[in-house]
Amino acid sequence: MTRLRLATVRPQEPEIFHSLQGEGISMGRPSVFVRLSGCNLACQWCDTPYTWFFTGHSAPHRGAQTYERRDNSVTLDIADVARTISAFDCRHIVFTGGEPLLQQPALAALCALLGPDFHIEIESNGTVALTSSFAPHVDQLNLSPKLRHSGNGDAARLNEAALQAYAADPRAWFKFVIASPADAEEVADLAARFALPADRILLMPEGTSANVLRERSIWLAALCQTQGWRFTDRLHIHLYGDTRGT
Ligand code: SF4
């Protein structure tokens, strides 16, 4: 039996839902989201802390509130996950988290069970390399390498070998979370250091309210124009607010 650890929308109910992709190069595309539990980083502004900021975790998070692991994660057999996914009339899947690439053996088994008709998109922090068994199942990688303002140490947030491999992989897009204009200098440094192609770099405003996103989008859009990078909004925040299962 192969099992996946998933986040929940409420105790024991896995966070698997149909919505529109809210961010990145596929923004607006109807997709089935599968949110996995667990993360190897601890971003202080993380908007899904219930996937990793469990009671006893000592990292600083601006929300301060920790979450009970038993209420906010559930472990399911991949056959049950495949049944839930297949019940939606949608063949575009987004595995998100947390950090979904921490569970690649189970994801590979799940994708094999689903078969070839599904388009598989991954949202990852870019610190975990693809394994040879999972890589063939992946159609698109939305990577979000973390900047200094995330609060993670350099060694934790930047895996040089993984980022170099992703830079050479045309399936990979690099989406940076930007809180202030000065963050763009850090992006430029990382782009040069890891040879990230400019046309696969996207900047996204940090924020979990429509007002903050709108304010930051004004200067961020101008900055993207200057640098030749893409801009991405957070559509789901405008449509549904900062809520689980959307
Ligand atoms: S990498 Fe993503 S899921 Fe993990 S703490 Fe950072 S923002 Fe949250």
Answer whether 204 contacts ligand 1 (Cβ < 6 A).
no
How many domains does the chain divide into? Answer: 1
Give me the domain span that covers residue 93: 3-240
pLDDT band at 64; cut points 50, 70, 90: confident
Q: What separation in angstroms does the CA of 128 have from each of 29, 43, 225?
A: 26, 16, 30
Q: Say if 98 falls within a structural domain.
A: yes
Given the DSSP bridges, would you call strands 30-35 and 73-77 parallel, antiparallel or unpaired?
unpaired
Please name the residue whose Cα sits nearest to atom 8 of ligand 1.
46
CATH number reported for the structural domain that contains residue 95 in this entry = 3.20.20.70
Residue 202 has pLDDT above 90, yes or no: yes
Q: Say if 245 falls within a structural domain.
A: no
pLDDT of residue 179: 94
- CB count in 10 Å sphere of residue 238: 13
Q: Say if 29 falls within a structural domain.
A: yes
pLDDT band at 59; cut points 50, 70, 90: confident
Answer whether 126 contacts ligand 1 (Cβ < 6 A).
no
Nearest to 130 by CA among 92, 159, 94, 98: 159
Answer whether 14 contacts ligand 1 (Cβ < 6 A).
no
Q: What is the largest CA-CA distance in the chain?
A: 52
Ligand 1 centroid to 122 CA: how many Å?
14
Report how far residue 111's alpha carbon sits from residue 138's, in angstroms, rounded to the nearest whole number: 9
Q: Say if 196 falls within a structural domain.
A: yes
Residue 1 has pLDDT above 90, yes or no: no
Q: Say if 197 falls within a structural domain.
A: yes
Question: How does pLDDT run across 11-55, given as a tens digit for each residue?
Answer: 999 999 999 999 999 999 999 999 999 999 999 999 999 999 999
Ligand 1 centroid to 123 CA: how many Å?
10
Q: Say if 165 falls within a structural domain.
A: yes
